[in-house]
Amino acid sequence: MLLASLIWGTAFVAQTASIGTVGPFYYTGLRFLLGAAVVLAFMALRRRPAPSAHPDSNPRSLLRDGGLLGVVVAISISMQQIGLESTTVANAGFISSLYVVLVPLLGLLWGRRVGVGVWLGALLAASGMYFLSVRQGYSVRHGDWLELGGALFITVQLLLLGRVAPRHDPLQLAVVQFVVCGLLCLVAGVLVETISLDALWRGAWTIFYGGALSVGVAYTLQVVAQRHAVPAHAAVIFSMEGVFAALAAWLVLHQSLDARALFGCALVFGGLLVTQLPLRALASGLFTMMRRVQPAQSIDP
């Protein structure tokens, strides 16, 4: 999950660079279909998994679960990409990261309870993204509402994936998700956008990076990892995407990274560490140790 966050963070530079060359629907559709092709190529090189490994999986359930994930991802990514056209990168980065708090909140409705450490880690990560993204003169823009909607659908995708990923082969589930998302966005692009060969050529590197790595590798890693992860834990780890995006913007785009941003990065990383620490076990051990320590008895003169 941390590797997926690294890829997504660096891909944010490519995603931002695609604005003005390829429309948001065409961009999302092409890169998700490219990602599906990358996973299919990898599947051709591996051994076929044993049927007993996923006894609950069948073509019908795979298409149902993967198709639902594809629809949710198509909505979330499209709202994020369209929102970037009418808001700032800072606003988009902060609002999109709010899924780190929304995942445990909505998870309560699904019967998923998390410990104090996860809540503390989520709040630290959200606070860190505030310091990392929000600057003086912050104002709500039209695109911010689209970014918030994208964050809500990302939340649904994380919770849904945590439920359906253990049922299926992760690569097969990833391919169905990518194909459905890609086709839906391409259809939307045909209906509302225009495209040319010149635009495709100028945006080729952003499509390739966003498709082969961000989708083909990172989204597949997400499917594989969330078979054995609590969605709320995953959300905090994925929030490191904002830290890696800031570092990539500093290295590639030469954007400044001041003390405020570095403090935000430290808070996000602290949130990641807190979720991985066994706080309940540490507190119980400390309490037991304190009970065993007997106060020294005073000696009367």
Q: Where do we find the tokens 């459905």?
A: 180
Measured CA to CA, the distance from residue 43 to residue 146 in angstroms comes to 35
Would you say the C-alpha torsion 57, 60, 64, 67 has a positive or negative sign? positive
Question: Between 241 and 76, whose confidence is greater?
Answer: 76
- Determine the distance from the C-alpha atom of residue 138 to the mean position of all C-alpha atoms in its chain, rounded to a whole number: 24
Record the pTM. Answer: 0.79
Reply yes or no on whether the pLDDT at 65 is more than 80.
yes
Q: Which of 139, 215, 210, 206 is nearest to 174 (CA)?
A: 215
Given this model, what pLDDT does residue 13 score?
72
Token duo for residue 40: 């299919």
CA pair distance 38, 220, nearest whole angstrom: 10
pLDDT at 24: 85
How far apart, in Å, are the Cα atoms of 271 and each of 104, 108, 128, 155, 241?
14, 20, 9, 18, 13
Distance CA(200)–CA(202), nearest Å, equals: 6
Distance CA 204, CA 209 (A): 9
Q: Report d(CA 12, CA 77) in Å as an integer.
A: 12
> Would you place residue 191 in the very low, low, confident or very high pLDDT band (cuts 50, 70, 90)?
very high
Q: Report whether pLDDT(216) > 80.
A: yes
CA gap 257, 242 in Å, rounded = 13
Neighbours of 25 (CB within 10 A): 24
Mean of the per-residue pLDDT values for the chain?
80
Amino acid sitting at position 66: G
Rounded Cα gap, residues 36 and 171, in angstroms: 9
Instruction: Give the pLDDT confidence score for residue 288 in this predicted structure.
Output: 66
Helix (H) or strand (E) holding 274: helix 259-276
